[in-house]
Chains A and B, each alone.
Chain A
Amino acid sequence: MSATMEDIRDHGRGHHHDTVDRSGTPLVDMRDISIAFGGIHAVDHASIDLYSGEVVALLGHNGAGKSTLIKILSGAYKRDSGEIFVRGEKASIGNPRDAKAYGIETIYQTLALADNVDAAANLFLGREIMTPWGTLDDGAMEAEARKVMGRLNPNFRRFKEPVKALSGGQRQSVAIARAILFNAKILIMDEPTAALGPQETAQVADLIKELKKEDIGIFLISHDIHDVFDLSDRVVVMKNGQVVGSARTEDVTKDEVLGMIILGKCPPGATPGPGAMKE
């Protein structure tokens, strides 16, 4: 019986109404970005943008270049060429610290947590609260951690334990808390629900909706269209390091997006990119 439901959803257009205002300057505008590793063009002249309060799903197979493109934005990789604009101004992002200064926060697929220290230490890693004497203010950090974690995951109590002792969902909430703790304007989520159960996945979906309301722009990266289709306002598909095309989610179906991912074939509702199949 749920099969019919699935069918209707799979073949219907993106069912939520697009309310994003795209008339002004984009929050993020990455233009003509390229990076190569040992002669392989991991990202090949890719352009992508993101507006305030918008969720853009970046889709593609493993190795399509989506994670690499986004790691350039988060400062983990240095691009070979291309430019990044944040709120219309040219941004120089050379390392993760630069990116954070622009309000760009990233939740990595691996979560990038230091497993041997506790949740508060992870939340404030690199941005510790200090006492007037220049020492770590662990009390203040734990108090802040309790506040933000209380919002995300009210049942979370294990503040004194190293994060390796936590469950997958708890670790995920620590990583998310770290990203939103410092007033992120641009949030990058790499496979945010890959390691989660259904309940935790729903929690993440609720959180994304809430962050949208706060005018945060969000990149959702996934190789699985089902994870992100219903959450996104726009989809961008990458293949072999190039952008196949982009489309408002309400203008395309899941099958059409699958066609873009697998074949690189751009449907009528989408704007083709340099990686689109030529006919």
Chain B
Amino acid sequence: MSEATSDTSLTRSGPTAGVGGFKGFMRATEIDTRMLGMIGALLVIWVGFHILSGGTFLTPRNLWNLSVQTASVGVMATGMVLVIVTRNIDLSVGSILGVTGMIMAVAQTQYFTPMLGYDSGLVWIATLATGLVCGLLIGGLQGFVIAYLGVPAFIVTLGGLLVWRGGAWWVASGRTIPLTDENFKLLGGGSDGSIGATWSWIVAAVAIVFIVVGALAARRQRKRFKFAQKPVWAEAFTLAISLIAVVGATMIVNSYLLPGPLARRYAEANGIAVPEGGLEISFGYAVPVLLFIGVGIVMTFIAKRTRFGRYVFAIGGNPEAAELAGINTKRVTLMVFALMGMLAAVAAAISTARLSSATNAQGTLDELYTIAAAVIGGTSLAGGAGTIAGAMLGALVMQSLQSGMVLLGMDTPLQNIVVGAVLVVAVWLDTIYRRRAA
């Protein structure tokens, strides 16, 4: 069997030579079967809810909402992948979200807005920077205790779960703090926090350019070292699929239109004349969704293209080997937790802006949804394996389940039962897949 594998990759005409059918197709296009399975599961969930809800799930409005709701947990899930890959866990992310959200709200209302002026363009930057630094420090502190003092991550972050939740209360004595800065609120989405049809198309165009340039660069790289090229048809196929996905998503968010009164207000504010038959103003991509995708791209880059990312995976695969290879495993572990803390702060900015205020209970139980998203997305709790894109899809699967059940009017306890059961079944299926693949 191993001989067959070596022979096929030898062939210069392409890696598919000698392997036919579905397997050959998958190998030529280099599509991850696990990823394909997840997309399949997602489609089943979507179509299922669409039918059960009598046609309300697969509407632009619901899908747009789904994308916004996924952003916060999704951002944290990308960091949780690296945490779990290094054989650790972070139970404190929901609480870090709570405390950094509260810090940002307090800093904004009590310091930045009075200091810089109402709706100054700097307020949101200062607020976000404060949150990110606090998240980084909190995560870094936990990482220090885990890596250098040798306390297990489970315990440190379990402690953190309580400590930072208590901290969130302490920052504002349990009050709810409404945000003052309108620019910052754009991070949460809503009709203002969306970029409209034109900009959505521009974003889509930029994405398409990057996808095409990326594919060409990969081909050039393979040529440079005389490695076997992906067959042209396979390249064209994967490119076409990605382009269809980008265009499709853009069409969906653009076909979600502002409701009548909001559209009228928007028209008045921008001096647009209301034409016959009403206005058609699109939401377009929501800012938090773009932020989520941006974080996903940056995190994928970190995981795949940087030394740090390589070390994270090597440590997960064999901590002793990483140490013997001269990697400073303690420092890498600390950095992973610091990064996780910072991402929790990004998530806090999104969810605080979305609610327009910081509450004491914000982010409660988010650690479980985050871990579930990462694990459903194929991150192995044994360490060493996981992808950022998988976790992002995992977050979307979790949120789809929840939104769908809300749409069906299911009771909260029943929702929890379903989510819990799905998590267990998903990991069970993944275990079977891994055993087969090994």
Contacts and interface: CB of A to CB of B under 8 A. Distances in A.
B222 interface: yes
A121 interface: yes
A157 B310 contact: no
A117 interface: yes
Interface in B367-409: 384-385
A179 to B, nearest CB: 11
A65 B168 CA distance: 54
Contacts of B227: 139, 142
Interface residues of B, number: 35
Interface string A98-134: 0010000010101111111100010001111010001
Given A140-B225, A157-B6, A158-B2, A112 B307 contact: no
Contacts of B7: 157
Contacts of A167: 2
Contacts of A254: none
Contact of B384 (A76, A96, A116): A116
Contacts, number: 97
Contacts of A97: 326
B325 A125 contact: yes
A19 interface: no
A126 B326 contact: yes
A95 interface: yes
B317 A116 contact: yes
A260 B283 CA distance: 83
B322 A96 contact: no
B318 A95 contact: no
Interface core residue of B222, B321, B324 (most chain A CB under 10 Å): B324
A143 B320 contact: no
Interface in B294-314: 301, 304-307, 309-310, 313-314
Nearest to A134: B306
A167 B227 CA distance: 23
Interface string A63-99: 0000000000010100000000000000000011100
Interface string A151-172: 0000111111110100100000
A136 interface: yes
Contacts of A160: 9
A199 to B, nearest CB: 15
Best-surrounded residue of A108, A139, A159 (most CB of chain B within 10 A): A139
Contacts of A127: 326
A157 B438 CA distance: 18
Interface of A: 74, 76, 95-97, 100, 106, 108, 110-117, 121, 125-128, 130, 134-136, 139-140, 142-143, 155-162, 164, 167
